[in-house]
Amino acid sequence: METTKPQNTIFRGWLQKISSISLLITPLMQSVGAQQVQKPNFILILTDDQGWTSSSQLMDNNIPNSKSDYYETPNIDRLAARGMRFTNGYAPCALSCPSRRSILYGQTPARQGDINFKENYNPETKNHLTIPLLLKSIDPGYKTAHYGKWDLRADIFPEDVGYDESDGNTGNRNGDVSSDKNTKFANFYLNDDPKRIETLTARALNFMKRQVKSGNPFYLQISHYATHVDIQTTEETFNKYLQKKKGEIHSNPGWAGMLENLDSGIGKILDMIDQLGIGDHTYLILMSDNGGVEFIPPVKNKFDHPSAFSAHTLNYPLRGGKWTLYEGGIRVPFIVIGPGIKAGSQCDVPVTGWDLLPTFAELAGNKSPLPDDIDGTSIVPLLEKGSEGKLERKNDLVFHYFNKPHSAIRVGDYKLIKFWDSKKIELYNLKDDVGELNDLSQKEPDKTRELESRLMTYLKKVHAEILYQPKKTGGKTEFDDDRD
């Protein structure tokens, strides 16, 4: 479905900038003609609730169980073989909506806030840079599309922030057969277009073909409803996994089938890149909006130490899952392919979703300074040199979760988590303890104080809601476990 919200009164500031640039460069473009340097295309495939180990691709060469013992994802494997895996790739948050906002604007959820997000990011009154607006400011020829789950929960449409095409202001309901919280984790729904994977993929392929035919560089974001429950899959893949031997960690045939259906959609995008012959100037990024659920169905005591459970979580060897800032909730598959990126390579430097905007800016040849409120850092040095590349971050990697509030900071190998209600602080060395089993906060008090101080410095800098009670003019978004 196409959104019908008018665009002519939206994001005036950036549109005026783009229009001015267009008037200036159009004659030049016409004179240069075929001598123009081809601007890169960007494709972001954002999966939903896909855990770090929820594929058949090994996520870290040094961790043998960093892949599934049951799921099959030949096209994600193929993607990794063509590009770079980031072993420490992070979603911006352990929940869908804040992560999607973060990626779009290149800012942390802590900076963006929750209660007044709707008011502070109203495109009719506020000018905020977004990925599509950025690319259009670099080259007005860019065409942009967003298909699938939007989920900003702020009455903001994709066209409001620079997209030329979209499915509108969509959310989980648009990909569901049933959202009944009492059955959605237990029932399997068999159909020919599970989670609208086929529909979204077909729209994406059509967009790609049209833009290549017209000679337009493009940005395409495919935000899949899979693998968020409810559990939908085709009859063929469901029967396949019913007959397959179950793994010790993963064993749900419906979820496995849904993941394989998603993987097939990813494969069609890869095939189209090859068919169109655009691989030499096209970057494709695969990542998830947050980690997977820790159990199916989820448990209430999700913050407990792993020793409290009788079985490993679905994100094992990571701790926790969606709704927590433990590694299982935010460390996700993060793979990039494109020109100059070494095939089959691995990078161990931490990166996250709010790094995408400045990365696209550099790759597209941006010459203007980015706004001061952009938190991300271009990861181009890593794409070029892997773990040997150097990032000069202006801000630490700081994560925040609004419901059951807790914050986390990653500095080097260390990660600190601060729980605001209980005032508990935990410290982990992820290099030695990827499962976050051994809290070092008492053993390493100096490191604990250092990281807490850095966390608080950033939260104060961005006037984070957790420190400064905001006016509730925007109305609080309902980020609850059942709804998301």
- What torsion do the CA atoms of 303, 305, 310, 315 make, to the nearest 10 degrees? 70
**Mean local confidence (pLDDT), 457-474:** 86
pLDDT of residue 482: 45
Check if 38-395 and 398-461 are the same fold.
no
Q: 334 - beta bridge partners? A: 287
- Domain boundaries 398-461, corresponding CATH code: 3.30.1120.10
pLDDT of residue 196: 98
pLDDT of residue 481: 46
Each domain of the chain, given as residue ranges in start order, spans 38-395, 398-461
Task: Report yes or no: 268 and 205 within 8 Å, Cβ to Cβ.
Answer: yes
d(CA 342, CA 339): 9
Q: What is the DSSP letter of 320?
A: -
d(CA 292, CA 290): 7
pLDDT of residue 179: 83
Minimal CA–CA distance to 464: which of 101, 94, 90, 114?
114
pLDDT of residue 367: 95
- What torsion do the CA atoms of 252, 255, 257, 263 make, to the nearest 10 degrees? -130
pLDDT of residue 7: 42
Looking up tokens 């939007």, which residue turns up?
150
Write down the mean pLDDT value for the chain. 92
| CATH topology (fold) of 38-395 | Alkaline Phosphatase, subunit A (3.40.720)
Tens of pLDDT along 390-433?
Answer: 999 999 999 999 999 999 999 999 999 999 999 999 999 999 99
Question: Distances in Å between the alpha carbon of 191 and those of 70, 225, 303?
Answer: 22, 15, 35
Tens of pLDDT along 354-376?
Answer: 999 999 999 999 999 999 999 99
Give CB contacts under 8 A, 24+ apart, made by 393-397.
395/108, 395/458, 396/454, 396/455, 396/458, 397/90, 397/350, 397/352
